[in-house]
Amino acid sequence: MSAKAISEQTGKEFLYKYICTTAAVQNRFRYASVTPETDWNRLTQDHPWLLTERLVVKPDQLIKRRGKLGLVGVNLDLQGVRDWLKPRIMRETTVAKAKGVLKNFLIEPFVEHTQEEEFYICVYATREGDHMLFHHEGGVDVGDVDAKAQRLLVAVDDKLTEDAVKEQLLTHVPQEKKDVLASFIVGLFGLYEDLYFTYLEINPLVVTAEGVYVLDMAAKIDATADYICKAKWGDVEFPPPFGREAYPEEAYIADLDAKSGASLKLTLLNPRGRIWTMVAGGGASVVYSDTICDLGGVDELANYGEYSGAPSEQQTYDYAKTILSLMTREKHQEGKVLIIGGSIANFTNVAATFKGIVRAIKDCQAPLKEHEVTIFVRRGGPNYQEGLRVMGEVGKTTGIPIHVFGTETHMTAIVGMALGHRPIPTQPPMDAHTANFLLNSSNNAVTPANTRTASFSEAKTLSDATHVKTAKAGGPADPAHMLLWPRKNVVTADWKEAQASSGYNGAKAVTLFSRHTKAIVWGMQTRAVQGMMDFDYVCSRDEPSVAAMVYPFTGDHKQKFYWGHKEILLPVYKNMADAMKKHPAVDVLISFASLRSAFDSTMETMQYPQIHTIAIIAEGIPENQTRKLIKIADEKGVTIIGPATVGGIKPGCFKIGNTGGMLDNILASKLYRPGSVAYVSRSGGMSNELNNIISRTTDGVYEGVAIGGDRYPGSTFMDHVIRYQGTPGIKMIVVLGEIGGTDEYNICQGIKDGRITKPVVCWCIGTCATMFSSEVQFGHAGACANQASETAVAKNQALRDAGAYVPKSFDELGDVIRTVYDELVADGTIIPAQEVPPPTVPMDYSWARELGLIRKPASFMTSICDERGQELIYAGMPITEVFKEEMGLGGVLGLLWFQRRLPRYACQFIEMCLMVTADHGPAVSGAHNTIVCARAGKDLISSLTSGLLTIGDRFGGALDAAAKQFSKAFDSGMLPMEFVNKMKKDGKLIMGIGHRVKSINNPDMRVQILKDFVKQHFPATQMLDYALDVEKITTSKKPNLILNVDGFIGVAFVDLLRTCGGFTRDEADEFVEIGALNGIFVLGRSMGFIGHYLDQKRLKQGLYRHPWDDISYVLPEHMSM
């Protein structure tokens, strides 16, 4: 969502900090905030003016017309303020339909002034620019400003001047105040633009001889501009509308949303309600809320929210866990229902997201049973069959009643089941399996010729269009949607003016897509591109629709894709200019640029005249940037689809990105060939649901576009409806409108004017909004009514009055579409044609494996680590548990090397071994090699490797050999003396015995430290004792034939493996045999080698050359002569 209301205190803080004007703005930063926890002594210390001045006090909780409601205390001293607050603070108050508790108040200095010194100013954003309303009589009794005020439109990218303000706004202002007001208004507009306000109202604005005073202020800012304005905004707090509390769970989900590329929304309406929702998709979430309210569940609806944009398993788990914990806090006498719904996903892996929900259900199964929760599930999209299967299984294993439905069931049918308005099928019909698109029903492997390029239906030659059925004059209106319409408010007089100001001047006369359309895709979206190519292939296109990709973060290269069975290479360019130059036939750009780069990349694209259509997928582009894009696009004749859209589809011709979902849905909805019905929607998810509905009730879709959920979509409903009106193959039009905006009224006018003569079936979602006591911002940024005429109920009634076919609810939309279609078939306008089977397309290996349709021997196996899930796992132990248990490096080594959780003393012993083997000076071969390599200018990895390659039986590699030799001798029953004699007889060295420097008289303290620890903590030390007996024999012959550190670690590790209780004897012997013990020396000594490398670099040592005097040159005599 974009436009969000801010508190009056925040708005004034922005104004006082950043306004640039010659007018003397008074009382800057002179305000004090009061809550029930306020310390009044501290407050007066921070704001001493509270003790000396007359004051004004008022609630700061987004309440309109506070003066009229008696919620402003005027001309009081501090004690008077406290007395005024006493009966009001923390008391429930009713404002219009909303009940809320007053808890945040603002105290400001009282400004003595006359009525003649009060003015009204308001700035608000629309599609074509920013409107300024000014009235020379402000204050609490300002009345109908919309009718009274002077107006000035500042078009997008235009500048506001003081002369324009004086000429158009200040005509009734006294001459002596015009300069001050003009300067302040220009400065205010500069502030409004710089800080991305979308609405700013000051009433009254007081101008006296001393200067300008901002008394009351209301404002909204574009929250999506946070990345631009963060430095000036700081951390902005967006208060909830009056009547709704701010819950910590809402803040938690908002934080998840901010950290995710997906969309996660949660608004608590009635935490004690029995009907809870967990809906995928911004549009679908509104439809489900509408249906619940239509069926009488408005008082029991507990929440509004949505998850979309392919959230991860962990994100859906966190989201679901939050909702389940909220709904199981209080019991309801009738039990509770949870509706897990959604439209047919375009690209979200349904099974993956359901895994997170299933985990949450399992974790909460006890409270869910205790609160008698029944769950209803309906979903479609990629891998939805597996998701539904898993959801059904969790119901069986937990005993929680879970009813599961797929695309064969109408999207909102589960609401009627949950509320007891329709029976629950015992065995719901299931659609074909995802993998069925592999099979050609005609048993013909040859790609069939495409027999229809215009429409699946045969056109009737006598009449190419059917006139819209007009409403009967004076006919009774639907009582369920009765509303006085249009209505006025402070911003816009009526919908006709809104239509006139919308900038609508007729649709661009362009056929957006054909069977020969070529596109460039901005962004490395390989999955979307492959989906487009598969669609092209199944539509029997001659060539792929994607000509190239642009990705600025890599050099020019080729990317591999599939065209049917064949692999092809697609060029990827670093910059747009090269792509355009080398592909002059391209006229469509599909932008997957991020919200931060979408504006710049789109502006660059519009420099190339060959581009006629641009689809912007990104959600969250600041509205001011979108309006600039629209202005340039209108000037250049470019059609923009989006932002915040999945795109659009023209069956048999072209699809944008992920539109229409995967091939199984393409085939199920018959999107591989054109039908007779065109639709336009805001929601991308709901556009796929329309594909499903239209395919089940008519001969299919001719074209469909999702214009996007932002307040200012690049193209409007009317733009596309007019295109559809002028397209012969389209026989009827479906529009899925939405609460917010006035674009649907252009369709009403088009029907009345006769510009639209084809049947229009229309439904505006968001009818539930008028039933809520407080304002709810739905999932789409534009889904919020700022006036009565923008409500879904008002727009549905207007469309019905204009002559469009409007159902009573979304539940009946499919029935109305079928009725209109049947009428067109009956009168011969549509003649359904014979179905032509599409060609088969192979399934990608990765997706087939995801669905469990194939198996393949793995290239290699691993059993110690798994990084695929949400959390790294070491030998079955999540990384968070590793740290929680404080296992240390020894514990991690135990998990990764031995697949065991070792005892604490074993972990400590491993860490001690690493410490004592870390280094033994620069003279040993490994360190020497590392130093030489470092001084030769090599990198760390090369230098370290050089040192490690010297490790072997002669240096450091004696751990394994010592363990093997001593174990073999001990296990065979040899006495220590027999072992020593045998090794001498065989001419072999005893590994782990002997040291160049240390001796029995100069013991190695490393060995002594380890020996003390082992004797104190190990359960048994048979192998160590045997080795020490051997040492007594060898040192009696020569004092330096001691048990060295390698030998000690080797034999002690054998004792550890055999006696710690974690290994069988065979397992212990296997670890010795496969060389695990040498790993201790390698790992420990690597620390020392790295230290030597860093030391040489720090000392800036040059290339090493060995001195001649340290080399004995022994050449053959005849060579030295």
- Residues designated catalytic: 780
Q: Are 807 and 813 in contact (CB under 8 A)?
A: yes
DSSP, res 771: G
How far is residue 751 from each of residues 347, 469, 701, 748, 791, measured CA to CA in Å? 36, 10, 22, 5, 20
Q: Which residue type occupies 579?
A: A
Rounded to the nearest angstrom, the gap between the alpha carbon of residue 68 and the centroid of all alpha carbons in its chain is: 42
Query: Which H or E run includes 91?
Result: none
Query: What is the rounded CA–CA span in Å between residue 819 and residue 821?
Result: 5
- Look up tokens 């979602």; give the residue: 765
DSSP, res 833: P
Q: Which of 359, 22, 398, 386 is nearest to 182 (CA)?
A: 22
Q: Which of 1058, 1072, 1055 is nearest to 1015 (CA)?
A: 1055
Query: What is the rounded CA–CA span in Å between residue 489 and residue 1088?
Result: 77
How many C-beta atoms surround the C-beta of residue 1093 within 10 A? 25
Q: State whether the Cα torsion 964-967-971-972 is positive or negative.
A: positive
Tokens of 238: 């967006």
- Look up tokens 């001649």; give the residue: 1108
At CA 1022, angle to CA 1019 and CA 1025, rounded to 5? 115
With DSSP H G I counted as helix, E B as strand and the rest as coil, what are the percentages for the chain, rounded to 5? 40, 15, 45
Query: What is the rounded CA–CA span in Å between residue 914 and residue 686?
Result: 60
**137 exposed, middle or buried (CB, 10 Å; 0-12, 13-18, 19+)?**
middle
* Dihedral angle computed from the Cα positions of residues 943, 946, 949 and 955, in that order, rounded to the nearest 10 degrees: -90
Integer Rg of the chain from CA:
38
| Widest CA span in the chain | 127
How far is residue 1046 from each of residues 376, 824, 993, 1035, measured CA to CA in Å? 65, 91, 9, 17
Tokens of 283: 């549009």
For residue 761, list its beta bridge partners: 734, 805
Q: Are 890 and 906 in contact (CB under 8 A)?
A: yes
| CB neighbour list of residue 747: distance below 8 Å, 6 or more residues apart | 717, 718, 721, 735, 756, 760, 762, 799, 802, 804
Query: What is the rounded CA–CA span in Å between residue 9 and residue 31?
Result: 8
- Please report how many Cα atoms fall inside a 13 Å half-sphere around the Cα of residue 1111, on the Cβ side: 7
Query: What is the rounded CA–CA span in Å between residue 321 and residue 952?
Result: 54
How far is residue 252 from each of residues 235, 328, 789, measured CA to CA in Å? 16, 18, 34
Residue 222, classed as helix, strand or coil, is strand
- Look up tokens 């017309």; give the residue: 65
Tell how strand 830-832 and strand 457-459 pair up: antiparallel
What DSSP string describes 604-627? HHTTSTT--EEEE--S---HHHHH
Query: What is the rounded CA–CA span in Å between residue 554 and residue 1067?
Result: 49
Query: What is the rounded CA–CA span in Å between residue 681 and residue 686?
Result: 7
| CB neighbour list of residue 862: distance below 8 Å, 6 or more residues apart | none
For residue 776, list its beta bridge partners: none
At residue 630, φ and ψ (nearest 5 deg) are -60, -45
